[in-house]
Amino acid sequence: MLDEQGKKAGQAMAWAKKARDGEFQIDPYELLSIEGSLQLYSIITTLLVAFAFGSSSSMLLEDIVHYSNPNALLELMRAPALAFVLTSLGSSIVCGVVMAPQKNRNSFVWGVKGFAGGPLAIQQLRGLDSLITRGEAEENMKNV
């Protein structure tokens, strides 16, 4: 029984040393950070929706820009704004429910990234490899 406990303690110490040496690093794509093209898509979508559905957009177009028929322009902008929102919602579902579990990735993180980044998040997730656990990595090393 003491040998068993000593063996477990030795494994724990070896794992701690590997972790301290940086062997087990977090995948940067698994962090809840919206950067690069995902951030740009999110900003464009937010501005388009805010302007198309905002209550003071018509006053801005009339008073400052001196646009003669602001309601027609806003009606025209509402279709693309709605399309962007629906695309973001669909991308969130595809990333979080379909693709992330297939690649052993965090469904919540990728659902949020899918909503913020739209189809760009799907493209990014499609380009990533499947994550493997430490146990799977150690088992693969033993089989080699």
- 12-21, 33-42, 46-55, 72-81: least confident range: 12-21
Pull the structure tokens for residue 39.
């951030």
Domain residue ranges in the chain: 34-143
pLDDT bucket at 29, cuts 50 / 70 / 90: confident
Q: What percent of the chain has pLDDT over 90?
A: 44
Q: Are 49 and 87 in contact (CB under 8 A)?
A: no
Is residue 81 predicted with pLDDT exceeding 90? yes
pLDDT 10s digits, 91-141: 999 999 999 999 988 999 999 999 999 999 999 999 988 877 666 666 666
The mean pLDDT value of the chain amounts to 84
The reported pTM is 0.72
Ramachandran assignment for 140, one of left (phi > 0), alpha (psi -120 to 50 degrees), beta (any other): alpha
Is residue 30 predicted with pLDDT exceeding 80? yes
Position 110 scores a pLDDT of: 95
Residue-wise over 86-98: b if at least 16 C-beta within 10 A, else e? ebbeebbebbbee
Pull the structure tokens for residue 63.
């008073």
Position 18 scores a pLDDT of: 63
With both helix axes pointing from N to C terminus, report the angle between 107-117 and 37-53 in degrees, rounded to the nearest 10: 60
> From CA 116, how far away is CA 105, in angstroms rounded?
17
CA–centroid distance for 122 within its chain = 9
